[in-house]
Amino acid sequence: MDFLQSAFLGAVEGITEFLPVSSTGHLILISHVLGIASTEFVKSFEIAIQLGAIFAVVLLYWRKLFIERGVLARVVVAFVPTAVLGFFFYPFIKAYLLGNVSVVLWALFLGGVFLIVFEFWYSKKLSRLPVGGQTTFNFQLSTSLSDVTIRQAAIIGLCQSVSMIPGVSRAAATIVGGMLVGLSREAVVEFSFLLAIPTMTAATGLDLFKTSAVFSGNEWLLLAVGFISAFIFALLAVKFLLSFIKHHTFIGFGIYRICAAALFFLFLF
């Protein structure tokens, strides 16, 4: 890996981290396209540069996270399932799933199909929403993060844990989970942003703790370049997604996932 590739992968991470398309999946596939070997450093790089994207969220949302009533507690509750499962399954994930192109392609494709089917199902259920906001599932759409209940946060956290499989997409898992338990699109996207902070910080910290001793000076510089690039592009991606969901569903992302999986498959195989 050279510095240009590092900056490019950082841009890919920043753009895709908060979109329901799987940033890890894109990094793995694009690394293969660029001919970057799936070494232990590259696997760690693909995890660590996510912190750049997370810093963008911290910059934009620190007031909401630390000042708005109850938001931090709910983010912590949602983080617990992934933290526990990630701790126990980390060796398996890094050894057998990260860098596995077949797993990524299948997860990317099936996740796209699921997003499309889910959106049609959700739209149908939402169309039956009577006056007053009460749904057939006996919940009301929560439009504010301070209205998110502990139960809702826990369910979103369980959904997020599925994204430990590369290609599933952490953003997609949390967004679907949030919409299922009654959060509005705007609220669940913002909650997904905030939940990324402890989740990706913990994932990066665990990986660096286990592998940092073998990094060379040049590899630390590559990480720094990827980190800065991810930070810059994540700022743009966050603003784009918040604007996009005001007028669109996530069906477009589902179609993109299917097309991306097909194109990568044709190119790689």
List pLDDT tens digits, range 192-217.
999 999 988 888 887 777 766 577 88
Average pLDDT over all residues of the chain: 86
Q: Which pLDDT does position 155 carry in this prediction? A: 94
- The alpha helices in 96-216, defined as continuous H runs, are 101-127, 150-161, 170-180, 185-211
Which of the residue ranges 123-132, 151-160, 233-242 would you say has the lowest mean pLDDT? 123-132
Rounded alpha-carbon distances, angstroms, from residue 40 to 13, 44, 74, 108: 18, 6, 34, 23
210: which residues sit within 8 A by CB, 6+ positions away? Answer: none
Nearest CA to 155 out of 135, 132, 140, 175 is that of 175
Reported as a single tens digit per residue, the pLDDT across 159-191 is 999 988 888 998 999 999 999 988 888 889 999
Share of the chain above pLDDT 90, in %: 43
Q: Which pLDDT does position 256 carry in this prediction? A: 95
List the structure tokens of 254.
């589902």
Q: Which pLDDT does position 136 carry in this prediction? A: 41
- Give the model's confidence band at 72: pLDDT under 50 very low, under 70 low, under 90 confident, else very high: very high
CA angle 14–20–22, rounded 5-degree value:
60
Rounded alpha-carbon distances, angstroms, from residue 222 to 30, 46, 111, 188: 17, 11, 31, 33
CA distance 199 to 157: 10
Q: Which pLDDT does position 124 carry in this prediction? A: 81
Residues 223 and 45: beta-carbon distance below 8 Å: yes
pTM of the predicted model, to two decimals?
0.83
Q: Which pLDDT does position 138 carry in this prediction? A: 45
Domains of the chain, residue spans: 3-268
